[in-house]
Amino acid sequence: AQSVTQLGSHVSVSEGALVLLRCNYSSSVPPYLFWYVQYPNQGLQLLLKYTSAATLVKGINGFEAEFKKSETSFHLTKPSAHMSDAAEYFCAVSSGNTGKLIFGQGTTLQVKP
């Protein structure tokens, strides 16, 4: 069965600093992986997705993620944090024929001025 683990429930960075949010997955088949962002009291917005093409995936708002099969990881990065990046971030893997998403616990990103 597929699963996702996000290391670190809270990450705090200074504005302009590197953002690194960690995600490890478990999957018996080549996975489809996603990063979503959620602002307070809103739904989820897709940041980027890995679908077995390029291992380095670029998304919206300057985010990118690298798929590393050997490490079963799909960490999210952004070179320079903005105050507007403060939100909850979820890593997810698509599971089975239905494509339902299995989510990690989420990481809250705090950006300090």
Partner 1 sequence: DTGVSQDPRHKITKRGQNVTFRCDPISEHNRLYWYRQTLGQGPEFLTYFQNEAQLEKSRLLSDRFSAERPKGSFSTLEIQRTEQGDSAMYLCASSRRTSDNEQFFGPGTRLTVL
In this chain, which of 7, 66, 86, 106 binds partner 1, going by CB under 8 A? 106
Pairing label, strands 87-95, 100-103: antiparallel
Q: Does 68 contact partner 1 by CB under 8 A? A: no
Least separation in angstroms between residue 85's CB and partner 1 is 19
Please give the single-letter amino acid code of residue 53.
A
User: What's the N-to-C CA distance of the chain in angstroms?
Assistant: 41
Q: Does 98 contact partner 1 by CB under 8 A? A: yes
Cα-based torsion angle of the residue sequence 56, 93, 11, 77 in order, rounded to the nearest 10 degrees:
10
Q: DSSP string of 76-90? A: EEESS--GGG-EEEE
Least separation in angstroms between residue 107's CB and partner 1 is 10
Region near partner 1 per CB under 8 A, out of 12-20, 63-71, 78-86, 88-96:
88-96
Residues that bind partner 1 (CB under 8 A): 4, 9, 32, 34, 36, 41-46, 49, 51, 90, 92, 94, 96, 98-106
